[in-house]
Amino acid sequence: MLDVVNLRRELETVREHWSPKIVGRVNDQYVKVAKLKDQLAWHKHDDEDELFLIVKGRLVIEYEDTEVALEEGDFHIVPKGRLHNPVAHEECWIALIETVTTKHTGDVVTEKTRSIEDQMIDR
């Protein structure tokens, strides 16, 4: 069977901010959805890039020396090894594309950190 995934429908099922859910896999990349509000944590992923696609709302990705503001329909790739902090002043819906080895909060563990097992959706 050939699956079709609707990002908005999947996002409607997400109940907790900063708790990504895996909705697909392309080779060694997971496709995830998440709802964001406020900020996550300053962190980095030493070996993996991370793609943020804004489905609804706005997101600012802070870097040590600059920031990137994203609107609905925009995407941004956070380069591996780059310290960053995602911030959503209002609720924001996103899709993420990350290597299957990417840890949620990279080199930092907080109360918001979710394991890959926590991110799996039962289908």
Q: How confident is the model at residue 113 (pLDDT cuts 50, 70, 90)?
A: low
In 3D space, the residue among 27, 72, 32, 26 whose CA is nearest the CA of residue 51 turns out to be 32
Residue 11 has pLDDT above 50, yes or no: yes
The residue ranges of DSSP E strands in the chain, in sequence order, are: 21-26, 29-39, 50-56, 59-63, 67-70, 75-78, 84-99
CATH code at position 38: 2.60.120.10
In this predicted structure, what is the pLDDT of residue 93? 98
Residue 123 has pLDDT above 50, yes or no: no
Looking at the structure of the chain, the number of domains it has is: 1
User: Domain for residue 110, yes or no?
Assistant: yes
User: Domain for residue 2, yes or no?
Assistant: no
Can you give the residue range of the structural domain that contains 41? 7-119
The pLDDT tens digits of the residues spanning 98-112 come to 998 877 766 766 676
The pLDDT tens digits of the residues spanning 12-22 come to 999 999 999 99
In this predicted structure, what is the pLDDT of residue 45? 92
User: Rounded CA gap, 39 and 67, in Å?
Assistant: 14
User: Domain for residue 1, yes or no?
Assistant: no
Residue 30 has pLDDT above 80, yes or no: yes
The pLDDT tens digits of the residues spanning 44-96 come to 999 999 999 999 999 999 999 999 999 999 999 999 999 999 999 999 999 99
User: Domain for residue 18, yes or no?
Assistant: yes
